[in-house]
Structure 1
């Protein structure tokens, strides 16, 4: 499990560790790790460090010092290192070390900085560290923009312009190819939009572990998910593996029903009980004969009783938002079983918040637009501050929130927010959310709590998408996928765990 922390948590741990070490020890450890990563990148691209051109962008803080000391190490190996000072101050020890190793230090001028960035084999962003908040001021903002023209950029601890505690980006920010972070992951390196600026994240251990508190954010790894997933044993039958009731689809959106059922079946559920109007039932019967189907015409006094006994429900994909759908949603949410509420179900809950006032476990899976309707907050504010609003929704609505996006967040009150790190931009295609709902419903029916089912479901969904995108091709090769491809790749995604 990868754990991440706020800036305040990291600084407190650093202070506790520094009190036990000789002055400068932590910076020396950080600089050594940074220099090692930089040297590896130069060797991979140019075959050597000697003679390579390295430009350091230096602010007045300690991460500027880290960059200067790392630059001195590279200069001693023959690299041509130039430090561009963004302000009038720089870490005095780091500056002296670079000059002593044969590096150069120049004051910021935009034209000079542009040339040094474009010509460099490697640019090291040491402008602003984890204490930075809000939009970059000048000349930091201009330097961040100029980095877009660099061949390769390494960020020191966190890309400048990214809020380390939240991932917020309020203006120009460095887009790094690699971020070398010290001691522990920062929230902003795992959560968008900051995560999309970080590139590959390399963690350098500087000894903070014993001084870190409980994490603020966590990301499950493959072994974590493997430990949590239910698996059948000799005496298992289909009922013990889980029976999920899926209420989805409509005459207009038959595909949502087919895809949701696909996600549940391919994720390993024992049985699917599917209910909808006649048209989606016909499609589901044709594509998935394993599903037990029920036609609902809207006149049933007890639609839940007609469907039969289940251990969890999936409610909402493509079901519509009319009065019939509202009555059916109310009937399902009045049960005592766990429910995942998705798509049209979320829209119904935004119109009638009383639907979510229940004692049984509830998972909702909104994207930013749907969450904006639930909270009454503009969508762009949610997208800029995903961590804050996922937590707020979990607390205010009393549910587990899976906030969809390039980095999916799972929030539950009084728990660390879980960030899903699997997936691919190719997942941005119609119907993939319906598959995810089916996966989570299957895991809920097998007995996983909402927090675990949502986290594991997101992980498996992203892992299956990656398998589908690569399709057994050579490393790095990718191709477009459709939603059903993700469902079909689920058994292999589980096998690879």
Structure 2
């Protein structure tokens, strides 16, 4: 599991560690890890050209000490000092003793143009609001060069706690981060600026509950439902699907397709698309008598392709089992009824739906995804899965949120969300919490999307059919 912590938590842990270490030891640990990552990226250090973009403070010190280590191995290292009067003095002395040189920003063009590697040490974790006007040209210069760009701790100009990008920021090929991941390295749009991320352990003691988690195969495997020897279809859980309409029967078919592959023992379908569902999936238990008379279920999925019929949505929200609310259900639901529920609710909006629920714009949601998902969860007292380029899941208690690391841009296709809803609903019926069901469903769905696409366009039905392969890959 990858864990990410906010700046305040990281700084507290750093202060506690520095109090136990000799002066400067923590910076040397960071510089050693940074230099090793740069050497790996270069392949051959001797004779390479390295440019350091150095701001003030400890981030600049890390960069200078790493540059000194590379210079000792035969690299030609040039430091561009944005603020010479506030440059880390010990780091600058070390660089010069190792044979490195320092230049002002107005002489950076030629050095960066010839460089094999550029280290971004402009701003550390305390940076806010994009790069200042004097630093922004250096980010643009690095982006236009042929050099590989390595961000020190995080790309300068991104918001470390939220993943927002509020101005010019450095675009890195590799980010070498120290001690722990920061949320901004895992969440778009900032994630796009980070490139690959390499974590250097510097010995921080961090709290047990991070601000953000990214599950990995082993974490998801531990949560996947497994039938026991005495299991039957009812003990494994029954999920109800209230979806589809005369206009959108395919949404019902796709939601059922995800649910059948999600670990529950049986799927009950309620709605006007029963003929289409039973023709494609004869194992489905189909009813046209409404959710109240469908029979017992352990969880409901309501909303995909529902059109304008609010009746089934209201019936489902009145039940005492977990409910997944998606698509048209988000528009049709009485949101006071959502807040009043005693059983868990999992809402699965995309950015446009989230914007409507929050009374803001889609762009604001996409630019501040972590803030948006937490606000939604708190406002509606529900667990929220915010779909998108980075899918986030947050609970109403304000605890650890989760970011999904799997997926592919090919998942941006009609019906893909319906498959995800059915899959997550089935996991709810199998007994997972709303946070776990949303997180596991997003992970499996994203991996299935990669399998289905394999570098080419894929439809939602292809994604559903790839779920078993993704499940086996995770389990094994």
TM range (shorter): over 0.9
Show the counterpart of 1:317: 304
1:337-348 maps to which residues of 2 (within 5 A)?
Answer: 337-348=321-332
Q: Please state whether the residue corresponding to 2:188 is helix, strand or coil.
A: coil
Are residue 440 (structure 1) and residue 440 (structure 2) matched?
A: no
CA deviations over 1:272-310 (Å, ceiling 9, x no partner):
111221xx32221221111122236xxxxxx22332221
1:365 aligns with 2:356: no
Structure 1 CA distance for aligned equivalents of residues 26 and 300 of structure 2 = 51
Q: Distance in 1 between matches of 2:7 and 2:450?
A: 32
Stretch of structure 1 that moved more, 412-421 or 126-135: 412-421
Q: Which residue of 2 aligns with 1:17?
A: 17
1:96 has 2:93 as partner: yes
Q: CA–CA distance in 2 between the matches of 1:469 and 1:152?
A: 29
* 1:409 equivalent in alignment to 2:392: yes
1:118 deviates by 3.1
For 1:214 and 1:402, how far apart are their aligned partners in 2? 20
Query: What is the rounded CA distance, in whole Å, between the counterparts of 1:222 and 1:328 in structure 2?
Result: 36
Equivalent of residue 429 in structure 1, options 410, 413, 436: 413
Q: Which residue of 1 aligns with 2:50?
A: 54
Point out the more displaced range, 452-461 or 148-157. 148-157
TM-score (norm 1): 0.92
1:308 aligns with 2:289: no
Please report how far the alpha carbon of residue 266 of structure 1 lies from its aligned counterpart in structure 2 after TM superposition: 1.9
When the two chains are superposed, the root-mean-square deviation of aligned CA atoms in Å is 1.5
The separation in 1 between residues aligned to 2:267 and 2:429, in whole angstroms, is 10
SS across alignment from 2:33? helix
- Residue of 220, 223, 229 corresponding to 1:225: 220
Measure, in 2, the Cα distance between the counterparts of 1:440 and 1:496: 18
- How far apart are the structure 2 equivalents of 1:67 and 1:166? 24
Shift of 1:192: 1.5
How many residue pairs end up in the alignment?
A: 471
Q: What is the rounded CA distance, in whole Å, between the counterparts of 1:233 and 1:255 in structure 2? A: 33
Specify the alignment match of 2:178 in structure 1.
Answer: 182
Q: Find the aligned partners of 2:266 and 2:358 in 1 and give their Cα distance.
A: 35
> Given that residues 192 and 406 in structure 1 are in contact (C-alpha distance below 8 angstroms), is that contact kept between their aligned partners in structure 2?
yes
Query: Closer, same or farther in 2 for the Cα pair 1:80/1:393, shift >3 Å?
Result: same
Q: Match for residue 283 of structure 1?
A: 276
Q: Is the 8 A contact 1:117 1:149 kept in 2?
A: no
| More deviation, 373-382/89-98 | 373-382
**Counterpart contact for 2:386–2:393, Cα < 8 Å:** yes
Q: Secondary structure at the match of 2:457?
A: coil
Counterpart of 2:361?
378
How far off is 1:268 after superposition? 2.9
Q: Secondary structure at the match of 2:120?
A: strand
* Partner-residue secondary structure (3-state), 2:393: strand
Report how far residue 467 of structure 1 moved: 2.0
Per-residue deviation, 1:352: 4.8
Is it true that 1:269 corresponds to 2:264 in the alignment? yes
Matches within 5 A, 1:137-286: 137-150=132-145, 151-208=147-204, 210-212=205-207, 214-277=209-272, 280-286=273-279
* TM-score where L is the length of structure 2: 0.96
Worse-superposed segment, 3-12 or 282-291: 282-291
- Between 1:336-345 and 1:305-314, the stretch displaced more is 305-314
Aligned-pair CA distance for 1:152:
1.4
The corresponding residue for 1:117 is: 112
Which stretch of structure 1 is more off in the superposition, 51-60 or 478-487?
A: 478-487
Alignment of 1:117-136 (within 5 A): 117-136=112-131
